[in-house]
Amino acid sequence: MNYRHAFHAGNFADVVKHLALVAILEHLRRKEAGFAVIDSHAGRGLYDLAGDEARRGGEWQEGIAKLQRRDDGPDLVRRYRALVSRFGAASYPGSPLIAALLLRPQDRLVAIEKHPEEFAALRQVLRPFKRARAVEADGYQRLPALLPPAERRGLVLIDPPYESPDEFAAAARAVKAVLTRFATAAILIWFPIKSMAAADAFCGEVKAQGAAKLLRVEFRLAPPGDRLTACGLLIVNPPFGFDHEMAQALEHLAPLLGAGMAEKWRVSWLSGAK
Ligand SMILES: C[S@@+](CC[C@H](N)C(=O)[O-])C[C@H]1O[C@@H](n2cnc3c(N)ncnc32)[C@H](O)[C@@H]1O
């Protein structure tokens, strides 16, 4: 486990993923009934953009920093930016902190992190949130025990580091494990695109797990290669209207983040209703 998200926090891929996270949680908040969020690969929760790793990587300069220089954009972009801006220009909130901020008293978050140092930081970050719990464990192993949540509504975020090639298969198996126990779950899976063939194969594998509704989102700064210049999201059971909201947000983001491709972003249904 060499991966440290601090090198990448706030980069274009985090921006795309966290926009989707905010959109889904806002949809869940529209109904009074409580929901559960399970973040299987949570990270440390808050990243210091002035810290050593973030400065060495510098990736946030090409991501969230470009967004923060503006005050325009579709509603979703504005709300995400406002949420991130609460932490000032030198810090960036990760997925468990974003989720914790969007919980209501009837909602709940379980954030799982395997790396001991990242977990220790995560526990501190989530301490003020009574409805959020940090768990030190392997996300894949722990997921089944948490499903279905008592609320019977909610989101599972699967955001592994993809350090090893079999992580794609592990993520697809996790989707199956979630769907078997909690068929109505919204599931948000982030994945890197370093080759279109590998991305297509992964999407096919997740589709084969049998989700009734599956949406694919892609964002590309440049043609896929060794450096991360493109990323994707798969969303099982996305809320109604999520596809349009993401399309609007990505259309705004593409010129801002300097996406130089002919097709900079794509939102497409792999299965299920439009
Ligand atoms: C891409 S980062 C997560 C970023 C976070 N979801 C966010 O958006 O802010 C992946 C995290 O998963 C952790 N990790 C790696 N393998 C894991 C496993 N099997 N179970 C749980 N966490 C794991 C890493 O230590 C790292 O913090």
SS3 188: strand
Residue 265: per-residue pLDDT: 96
User: Which pLDDT score is estimated for 226?
Assistant: 84
- CA-to-CA distance for 110 and 130, rounded, in angstroms? 11
Task: Judge contact between 260 and 222, C-beta under 8 A.
Answer: yes
First to last CA, the chain: 39
- Quote the pLDDT of residue 274: 60
Q: Can you read off the two tokens belonging to residue 106?
A: 């009837």
CA angle in degrees (0–180, nearest 5) for 156-157-163: 135
Residues 28/155, Cβ–Cβ less than 8 Å: yes
Give the number of other Cβ atoms within 10 Å of residue 165's Cβ.
8
Q: Is 159 a catalytic residue?
A: yes
Given this model, what pLDDT does residue 141 score?
98
- For a mutational test of ligand 1's pocket, the pick from 11, 83, 113, 167, i.e. the residue with the most ligand atoms closer than 8 A to its C-beta, is 113
Q: In this predicted structure, what is the pLDDT of residue 2?
A: 81
Ligand 1: centre distance to CA 71 (Å):
31
Alpha-carbon distances, residue 17 vs 64, 152, 235, 249 (angstroms): 12, 24, 11, 12
pTM of the model: 0.98
Ligand 1 touching residue 94 (CB < 6 A)? yes
Q: What sign has the CA pseudo-torsion 15, 265, 74, 214? A: negative
The one catalytic residue in 159, 166, 200, 226 is 159
CB-CB contact of 177 with 143 (8 Å):
yes
Give phi and psi for 183, each to the nearest 5: -65, -25
Burial class (CB in 10 A: 0-12, 13-18, 19+), 148: middle
Residue 161 Cβ inside 6 Å of ligand 1? The answer reads yes
User: pLDDT 10s digit of each residue in the chain, 274 long?
Assistant: 789 999 999 999 999 999 999 999 999 999 999 999 999 999 999 999 999 988 888 999 999 999 999 999 999 999 999 999 999 999 999 999 999 999 999 999 999 999 999 999 999 999 999 999 999 999 999 999 999 999 999 999 999 999 998 999 999 999 999 999 999 999 999 999 999 999 999 999 999 999 999 999 999 999 888 889 999 999 999 999 999 999 999 999 999 998 777 779 999 999 996 6
CB contact at 8 A, 52 and 100: no
Mutate which of 114, 123, 173 for ligand 1 pocket (most atoms within 8 A of beta carbon): 114
Q: Is 139 in the pocket of ligand 1 (CB under 6 A)?
A: yes
Q: Which domains does the chain have, with CATH numbers?
A: 5-271 (3.40.50.150)
Give the H or E element holding residue 200.
helix 196-207
Contact (CB, 8 A) for 126 and 134: yes
